[in-house]
């Protein structure tokens, strides 16, 4: 395949496909079964990509798999491609496309309590996959007496500050699982809805079900070339790529030619200035 003949859109589609399906390296699997999912939750994630453009809201369907020891939160598109790959390791791009796969936008995979006592995040910045750890007890919640009902479940309000934002959560004690979307956890019940005070990032529950499949497992990425780092350093790497996507593409080894597509890609990347965690990138 001649990358030089591809448009920027085609290149990004190919990269997105490779991130979703490229779970082998020369035939060696990089997904390790670490738990069996007992609860499956679907969330709709809405976010304002550009902090000054409230009219452009992106959304993605996300999945939370909760097992006895571990939970995994990631995009349903990634989950779909993992499932396809595990069933057919030799599938190619054409065959995969014919399956009408769901959109795969985010690259993050968030494992809670793996290793025990940690939140482990895997995320991607071209051309590398990164991994960093955080303490499981990230959140200092304030419970409210305010209640409501979401999808037939009685819920209670709680608030916390995390990643430079104030968060409002609604959890249900009827499902006594201390978990929720993204990294959020630590409440006496499953979080069904959570949003920041400016409504720039919103997670809404879509459905909750017990797993009725013996094969619905939670898989851990185990590639040998994953770069282990810390959150501060990962955010710096991600921000450098956002500021210079052209340089990042060229240094990744993708032989693209500079044209208006590259300029447009850079402008689009710069609009992604409103991440879910607003971390101050301090100098080293």
The neighbouring-strand residues paired with 29 are: 24
Q: Give the pLDDT band (50/70/90) at residue 97.
A: confident
The neighbouring-strand residues paired with 221 are: 31
Identify whether 42 is part of a domain: yes
Identify whether 230 is part of a domain: no
Fill in the DSSP letter of residue 135: E
Closest CA to 84 of 63, 70, 98, 73: 98
Nearest-angstrom CA–CA distance, 49 and 200: 8
Number of domain units in the chain: 1
Identify whether 276 is part of a domain: no
For 107, residues 6+ apart whose C-beta sits below 8 A from its C-beta are 19, 75, 78, 122, 123, 124
Question: Cα 87 from chain centroid?
Answer: 22
Model confidence pLDDT, tens digit, residues 12-55: 444 454 454 544 433 344 889 999 999 999 999 999 988 888 98
Model confidence pLDDT, tens digit, residues 157-187: 999 999 999 999 999 999 999 999 999 999 9
Model confidence pLDDT, tens digit, residues 192-237: 999 999 999 999 999 999 987 766 899 998 887 899 999 999 999 9
**What is the structure's pLDDT at 249?**
62
What CATH number is associated with residue 108? 2.50.20
Identify whether 275 is part of a domain: no
**What is the structure's pLDDT at 247?**
63
Identify whether 115 is part of a domain: yes
Model confidence pLDDT, tens digit, residues 218-227: 999 888 789 9
Identify whether 11 is part of a domain: yes
Give the CA distances from residue 275 to residues 12, 129, 142, 183, 231, in Å, rounded to whole numbers and listed in that order: 20, 18, 24, 14, 13
Identify whether 58 is part of a domain: yes
Question: Cα 33 from chain centroid?
Answer: 19
Identify whether 263 is part of a domain: no
Question: Structure pTM?
Answer: 0.87
Q: The domain containing residue 156 runs over which residues?
A: 3-221
43 and 205 Cβ atoms separated by less than 8 Å:
yes
């Amino acid at each position: 395949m001649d990358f030089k003949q591809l448009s920027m859109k085609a290149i990004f589609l190919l990269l997105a496909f490779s991130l979703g399906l490229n779970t082998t390296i020369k035939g060696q699997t990089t997904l390790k079964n670490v738990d069996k999912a007992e609860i499956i939750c679907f969330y709709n994630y809405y976010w304002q990509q550009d902090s000054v453009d409230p009219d452009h809201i992106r959304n993605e369907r996300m999945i939370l798999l909760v097992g006895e020891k571990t939970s995994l939160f990631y995009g349903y598109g990634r989950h779909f491609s993992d499932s396809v790959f595990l069933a057919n390791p030799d599938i190619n791009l054409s065959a995969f496309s014919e399956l009408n796969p769901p959109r795969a936008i985010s690259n993050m995979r968030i494992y809670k309590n793996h290793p025990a006592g940690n939140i482990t995040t895997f995320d991607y910045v071209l051309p590398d996959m990164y991994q960093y750890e955080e303490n499981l007890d990230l959140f200092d919640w304030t419970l409210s007496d305010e209640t409501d009902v979401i999808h037939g479940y009685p819920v209670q309000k709680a608030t916390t500050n995390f990643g430079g934002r104030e968060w409002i959560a609604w959890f249900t004690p009827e499902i006594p699982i201390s978990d929720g979307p993204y990294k959020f956890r630590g409440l006496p019940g499953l979080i069904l809805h959570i949003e920041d005070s400016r409504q720039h990032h919103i997670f809404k529950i879509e459905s909750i079900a017990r797993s009725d499949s013996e094969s619905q497992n939670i898989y851990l990425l185990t590639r040998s070339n994953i770069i282990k780092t810390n959150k501060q350093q990962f955010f710096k790497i991600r921000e450098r790529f956002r500021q210079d996507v052209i340089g990042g593409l060229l240094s990744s080894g993708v032989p693209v030619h500079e044209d208006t597509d590259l300029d447009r890609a850079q402008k689009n990347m710069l609009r992604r200035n409103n991440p879910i965690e607003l971390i101050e990138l301090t100098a080293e």
